[in-house]
């Protein structure tokens, strides 16, 4: 590609970044792309990064489609303008800011703090990296109107991101998310961004917030007597070079677990994530060092968290004594089962409690809850929608816990985002509870399948990078939407749910119903026999995701492996039928 082939609108956007309003390094980078790499120029300027399910997220670099000080500055100026619209010119607006271990995270956090301060907004900036859930807690604890975390969660090292929170400690939901974007889009020049001024509006916070957060976390424990008996439970933990390195070992110790082994190679925060390709506990490769340590010490439980410590991966021994990694649906099911069982045993269930899960998460959570008289609510993908439903029922119903298949869980309502710190503590307590009854967590999971039905799920993610990739993903969604499959591997498709059109269609009769959830580019296909397929473009990565689920029965626990193998074949055949390669 040469420059003459580039869309003139893209060239004009890029030329604006050659002005004196941008620093010298930025101007040099833009000029180099224009002179030597027009293809890269297109990738960096063909669009502006938009808020998805997790806010801003993208590759670090120069341009409107990259994470840099100017994109961060414009987003923060837009947020500041919106906060002033919402609260008025004289209201003392407060915003808390945290950041993770990624390269440039501290720098971006300082940029955001300075822009807010220059706009007359009081800022509470953490003195060092902190987990996402602690920021969510801090927003409520300090009575802030908003919060920001600089993180790209579990993405590869070249990414960074910008999560925005509202006054309830949850990430932005409609209409606030689109309204903030509207304000950002009104900024036509970086000269409109107040990058400096009023440094006295920035207050540094740290250990005092850690203590307040941990004090509330400790109140979540439901079985202190069990922990006392099982205090030597062997736990392996890794923060994968992220923010969990300090708080999670401290919280496990304060819960009463005295036998925690840390993966030393991954304990130091490092934005280059030198021991992994991607710091994502959903991927086995990121858990390898933890698995190796577990074998050495004969651990009962393995846990690892992503860089911003909102997701946790879980490993346990199977019935043959081999270590395996559980998926997010399995971990969430174990956690919800334990929470509800203990709430009942402790006399805390009144009939006014609920859990929440995303639409792509296993129906097993709902089955467990409903069987105990606990309501279960489905929400769109993105933990911000679980926070939204907690807020909706605040003062009316009690939230026990919730989760999503992508390794995010929440216990209690003092945090309004997925919380790997609390999850590690309660998953360890779940393991101790199981061991106290002579079971492993894996055997506990088999008992759950026996009691409620055997659910087997899998996720296929297809990466499509850049502008052409985004167009290809959209075409795939359009094709499924306009020409839905009528059968898959000989199994009839009964129902299609289109969350973008908010329409549920019976594919046999054509009967339609309205879906009572906000619009989202998600399609679900429900098959005869209870299988389910969900198709969804990721809101934070250049991927399209296919969620597959089948359901069976496990009347005899001794037949678990046989039933599991049979269902795995059924699941694989369903995946193959869609021909996703």
Q: Which residues are catalytic?
A: 153
Task: Kindly give, in sequence order, each residue whose CB lies less than 8 Å from that of residue 135, ignoring residues fewer than 6 positions away.
Answer: 96, 97, 98, 126, 147, 148, 149, 165
CA distance 323 to 314: 10
CA distance 539 to 380: 12
CA distance 470 to 52: 14
Q: What are phi and psi of 323, to 5 degrees?
A: -80, 130
Q: What are phi and psi of 333, to 5 degrees?
A: -65, -45
Q: What is the dihedral of CA 106, 108, 109, 110, to 10 degrees?
A: 90
Q: What are phi and psi of 299, to 5 degrees?
A: -70, 150
Please answer whether residues 393 and 401 qualify as being in contact, where contact means their C-beta atoms are separated by less than 8 angstroms.
no
E-only strand ranges, 306-385: 312-317, 323-326, 353-358, 375-379
Q: Give the chain's end-to-end CA distance (angstroms, integer).
A: 28
Joined together, the tokens standing for residue 420 give 């790997």
Which one, of 407, 419, 539, lies nearest residue 473 by Cα?
539
Joined together, the tokens standing for residue 26 give 């930025």
């Amino acid at each position: 590609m040469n420059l003459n082939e580039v869309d003139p609108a893209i060239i004009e956007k890029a030329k604006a970044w050659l002005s004196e309003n941008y620093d010298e390094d930025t101007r040099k980078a833009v000029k180099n792309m224009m002179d030597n790499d027009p293809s890269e120029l297109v990738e960096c300027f063909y669009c502006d990064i938009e808020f998805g399910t997790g806010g801003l997220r993208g590759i670090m670099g120069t341009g409107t489609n990259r994470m840099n000080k100017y994109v961060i500055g414009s987003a923060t100026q837009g947020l500041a303008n919106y906060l002033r619209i919402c609260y008025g010119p004289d209201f003392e607006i407060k915003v808390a800011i945290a950041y993770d271990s990624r390269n440039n995270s501290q720098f971006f956090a300082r940029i955001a703090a300075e822009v807010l301060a220059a706009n007359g907004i009081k800022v509470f900036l953490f003195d060092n990296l902190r987990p996402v859930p602690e920021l969510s807690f801090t927003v409520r604890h300090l009575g802030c109107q908003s919060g920001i975390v600089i993180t790209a969660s579990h993405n590869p090292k070249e990414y960074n991101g910008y999560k925005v929170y509202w006054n309830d400690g949850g990430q932005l939901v409609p209409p606030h998310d689109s309204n903030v974007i509207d304000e950002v889009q009104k900024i036509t020049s970086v000269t409109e961004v107040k990058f400096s001024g009023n440094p006295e509006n920035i207050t540094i916070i740290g250990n005092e917030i850690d203590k307040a957060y941990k004090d509330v976390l400790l109140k979540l424990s439901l079985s202190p007597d069990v922990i006392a008996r099982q205090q030597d439970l062997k736990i392996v933990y890794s923060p994968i070079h992220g923010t969990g390195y300090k708080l999670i070992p401290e919280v496990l110790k304060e819960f009463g677990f005295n036998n925690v082994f840390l993966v030393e190679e991954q304990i130091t925060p490092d934005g280059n994530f030198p021991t992994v390709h991607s710091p994502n506990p959903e991927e086995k490769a990121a858990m390898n060092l933890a698995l190796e340590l577990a074998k050495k010490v004969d651990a009962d439980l393995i846990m690892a968290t992503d860089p911003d410590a909102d997701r946790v991966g879980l490993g346990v021994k199977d019935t043959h004594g081999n270590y395996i990694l559980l998926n997010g649906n399995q971990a969430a099911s174990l956690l919800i089962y334990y929470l509800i069982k203990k709430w009942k045993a402790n006399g805390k269930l009144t009939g006014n409690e609920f859990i929440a899960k995303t639409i792509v998460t296993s129906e097993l959570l709902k089955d467990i809850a409903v069987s105990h008289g606990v309501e279960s609510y489905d929400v769109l993908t993105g933990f911000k929608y679980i926070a939204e439903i907690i807020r909706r029922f605040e003062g009316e119903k009690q939230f026990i816990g919730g989760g999503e298949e992508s390794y995010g869980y929440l216990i209690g309502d003092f945090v309004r985002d997925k919380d790997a710190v609390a999850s590690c503590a309660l998953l360890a307590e779940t393991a101790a509870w199981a061991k106290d009854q002579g079971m492993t967590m894996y055997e506990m999971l088999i008992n759950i399948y026996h009691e409620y039905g055997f659910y087997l799920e899998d996720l296929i993610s297809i990466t499509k990078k850049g502008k052409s990739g985004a167009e290809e993903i959209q075409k795939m969604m359009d094709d499924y939407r306009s020409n839905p499959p009528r059968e898959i591997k000989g199994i009839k498709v009964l129902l299609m749910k289109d969350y973008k059109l908010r329409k549920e269609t019976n594919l046999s009769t054509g009967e339609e119903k309205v879906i009572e959830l906000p619009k989202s580019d998600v399609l679900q296909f429900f098959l005869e026999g209870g299988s389910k397929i969900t198709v969804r473009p990721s809101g934070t990565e250049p991927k399209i995701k296919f969620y597959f689920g089948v359901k069976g029965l496990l009347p005899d626990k001794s037949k678990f492996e046989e039933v599991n193998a049979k269902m795995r074949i059924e699941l694989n055949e369903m995946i193959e039928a869609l021909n996703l390669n």
